[in-house]
Structure 1
Amino acid sequence: MAFSREGRLSECAVDTNCVLVEREVNEVKKSYEDLLGIGSQLPRTKVLEQTNNYWHAVVRSLVFRFPDDLEILQIPNEKVIQVRSASRVGVSDLGVNKKRVDSLFSRLTKD
């Protein structure tokens, strides 16, 4: 679990293999549940932890099976959702984590 002391997801230590996005949403609980549904359906995804406010999974790349951590946190009192996607291996992810997070939020707004 990558939490900072402020009860938020940790900042990215290396910005070439990690992305952290924070969005204000109108319906935090619904947006959180929808994101969990979308995240759980990603190919090669294994959920490691799920609570009322936090979700953590490992998503593996297609060819080399590199593991990426995908985390979703809802902060209801601020009407905020945070999504963090970070590679466990290597310095560069070739933009995969940013594309993953952008896709999650894009699919959320389509529903």
Structure 2
Amino acid sequence: MTDSKSGLSPCLNPLNCVFFQKEFEDVEKTFDQLVTIAQNIPRTNVLESNENYWKAVCRSLIFRFPDDLEILKIGKKIQIKSASRYGGGDLGVNGTRVGKLLTALEKLNS
């Protein structure tokens, strides 16, 4: 759930959720780049997309566990949240996903 003023909802369980927030100089360009990168993640199904918010479900390779991936542009900041829908832990999958998004973004802009 998002609120355009306060942002993405916080992680309820840090064992199966990762939240990232950073201010960017060119937030429009960065948001568009992140969405493009995220859309190319294998087994990703986009649920919602507009000029400020993007949400998809990413499924694991073997068991097809669903994880929610959200990207929100709020002011000069971008928030990214990746969270498992089920289970108490994710074995680091969500952190890895967000890390790969940010690494790919960095490569685009270097």
TM-score, normalization by structure 1:
0.93
- Aligned position for 1:35: 34
Aligned match for 1:90, one of 82, 87, 91: 87
For 1:29 and 1:6, the matched residues in 2 are separated by 17
For 2:85 and 2:62, the matched residues in 1 are separated by 16
- Aligned position for 2:19: 20
For 1:59 and 1:103, the matched residues in 2 are separated by 14
1:67 aligns with 2:66: yes
How many residues matched?
108
Letter paired with 2:65: F
TM-score, normalization by structure 2:
0.94
- In the alignment, structure 1 segments of 5+ residues that lack a partner are none
1:102 aligns with 2:81: no
- Structure 1 vs Structure 2: percent identity of aligned residues? 50
Residue 11 of structure 1: SS of its match in structure 2? coil
Q: CA deviation at 1:5?
A: 8.0
Residue 109 of structure 1: SS of its match in structure 2? helix
Residue 8 of structure 2: SS of its match in structure 1? coil
